[in-house]
C-alpha cells in the first residue's frame, strides 16, 4: 500500500513553463519530506527537502509548498528547461526509512 | 568528496542462485539504507543500518538480508533468487538516518534473474 500518493503520473510542459507535482500522505508521523530527481540509468538525486513546520521552501527554480493540515505537499519547477526532463519522486520519512511516491515523468518540450 | 559507491553495477544470475551486493557510503555517513526499484512497485524500502545495527526492515521475505560493517560499508544478500527479484537495487547513505538528515543514493546495481 502506497503511503505517499503522487500525481500526475506524467506531464509535458513547454520550455519556460511551470511544472507542478502533487503528493499526499496519511501518516502524521512523517517528519521530513524530500524530493528526488532521477535520470534513466542513474540513482535518485536529492533535489530539495522540507520539514512540516515550514510551509514553503525555495531553492533556485524549485519550490516545495507544504500544507500540514491537508497532509499535502507539492513541487513547483519554474522556468522548466529541457534538462529538467526526468522522473521526480516525492518521499516522506519516519522510522529510519523513506516512503516514496510512484513518481512523475516530466518532459520539457523545447 | 566521493559519493555512494555500489558494486557491481550490473549482475545476471540464474534462478535459485544467491547474490551479494555491496555499498560504500559517503565518508562520515553512518546510516545506510537499501531500496528495491521496479517499474511495477516503484521504490520500496528493504532495510536500514546504523552503526552495524539494523533499525528497520521492510516487507520483504527472509531471503533478503543485509549487514553493515564497522567502517559503515554495507552488503545485502538475496538467496534463492526468483525471477521477480530482477530490479535496480539502490543504496542510500546519510549522516544519522533518512528521517532527519539528507539521504544520498548510489547509482544502483541492476540485477537480472534469468
- The pLDDT tens digits for A3-32 are 999 999 999 999 999 999 999 999 999 999
pLDDT at A43 over 70: yes
Banded model confidence at residue A2, pLDDT cuts 50, 70, 90:
confident
CA A46 to each of CA A37, A62, A71: distance values in angstroms, whole numbers, following the listed order:
6, 12, 21
Task: Give the E-state strand segments of chain A in sequence order.
Answer: 4-7, 10-14, 19-25, 33-38, 45-50, 56-59, 62-67, 72-77, 86-94, 97-100, 104-109
pLDDT at A56 (0 to 100) = 97
A9 to chain B, any CB pair closer than 8 A? The answer is no
Query: Which B-chain residues 1-60 have CB contacts (< 8 A) with chain A?
Result: 4, 6, 31, 33, 35, 42-45, 48, 50, 55-56, 58
Report yes or no: A73 and A23 within 8 Å, Cβ to Cβ: yes
Contacts of A87 in chain B (CB under 8 A): none
Query: Residue B65: how many CB atoms within 10 A of its CB?
Result: 17
| pLDDT recorded at residue B100 | 64
- Other CB atoms closer than 10 Å to residue B29's CB: what's the count? 20
Check residue A91 and give its pLDDT: 96
Average per-residue pLDDT in chain A? 95
Residue pair A82/A15 in contact by the 8 Å Cβ criterion: yes
Closest alpha carbon within chain A to B91: A43
CA distances from A33 to A79, A99, B11, B100 (A): 23, 10, 32, 9
Asked whether the beta carbons of B72 and B5 are under 8 A apart, the reply is: no
**How far apart, in Å, are the Cα atoms of A87 and each of A74, B25, B33, B34?**
15, 24, 21, 20
Beta-carbon separation of A44 and B56 below 8 A: no
pLDDT of res. A1: 66
For residue A82, report the phi and psi dihedrals to the nearest 5 degrees. -55, -30
Q: What confidence score (pLDDT) does residue B84 get? A: 97
pLDDT single digits (tens) A72-109: 999 999 999 999 999 999 999 988 999 999 999 999 99
DSSP B40: T
Of chain A, the percentage scoring pLDDT greater than 90 comes to 93
Q: Nearest-CA distance from B22 to chain A in Å?
A: 15
Per-residue buried b or exposed e for A10-34, using 16+ beta carbons within 10 Å of the residue's own CB: ebebeeeeebbbbbbbeeeebebbb
Mean pLDDT split into 10-residue runs, chain B, 114 residues: 92 98 96 96 96 96 98 97 98 82 93 98
Residue A16 Rama label (left phi>0; alpha psi -120 to 50; beta): left
Cβ–Cβ contact A48 with B under 8 A: no
- Convert the pLDDT of each residue in A58-70 to its tens digit: 999 999 999 999 9
Q: How confident is the model at residue B54, as a pLDDT?
A: 97
What residue has cell string 503511503? A3
- pLDDT for A28 equals 93
Amino acid at each position: 500500500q502506497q503511503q505517499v500518493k503522487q500525481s500526475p503520473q506524467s506531464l509535458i510542459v513547454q520550455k519556460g513553463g511551470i511544472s507542478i507535482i502533487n503528493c499526499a500522505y496519511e501518516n502524521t508521523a512523517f517528519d521530513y519530506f524530500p524530493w528526488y530527481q532521477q535520470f534513466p540509468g542513474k540513482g535518485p538525486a536529492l533535489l530539495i527537502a522540507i520539514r512540516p513546520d515550514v510551509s514553503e521552501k525555495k531553492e533556485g527554480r524549485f519550490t516545495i509548498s507544504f500544507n500540514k493540515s491537508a497532509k499535502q505537499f507539492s513541487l513547483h519547477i519554474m522556468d522548466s528547461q529541457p534538462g529538467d526532463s526526468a522522473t521526480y519522486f516525492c518521499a516522506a520519512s519516519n522510522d529510519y526509512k523513506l516512503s516514496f511516491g510512484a513518481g512523475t515523468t516530466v518532459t520539457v518540450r523545447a | 568528496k566521493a559519493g555512494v559507491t555500489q558494486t557491481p553495477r550490473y549482475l545476471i544470475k540464474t534462478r535459485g542462485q544467491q547474490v551479494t551486493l555491496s555499498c560504500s557510503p559517503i565518508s562520515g555517513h553512518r546510516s545506510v539504507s537499501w531500496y528495491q526499484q521496479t517499474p511495477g512497485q516503484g521504490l520500496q524500502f528493504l532495510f536500514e543500518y546504523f552503526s552495524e545495527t539494523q533499525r528497520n526492515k521492510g516487507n520483504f521475505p527472509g531471503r533478503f538480508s543485509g549487514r553493515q560493517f564497522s567502517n559503515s560499508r554495507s552488503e545485502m544478500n538475496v538467496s534463492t533468487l526468483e525471477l521477480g527479484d530482477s530490479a535496480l537495487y539502490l543504496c542510500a547513505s546519510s549522516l544519522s538516518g533518512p528521517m532527519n538528515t539528507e539521504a544520498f543514493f548510489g547509482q544502483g546495481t541492476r540485477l537480472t534473474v534469468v
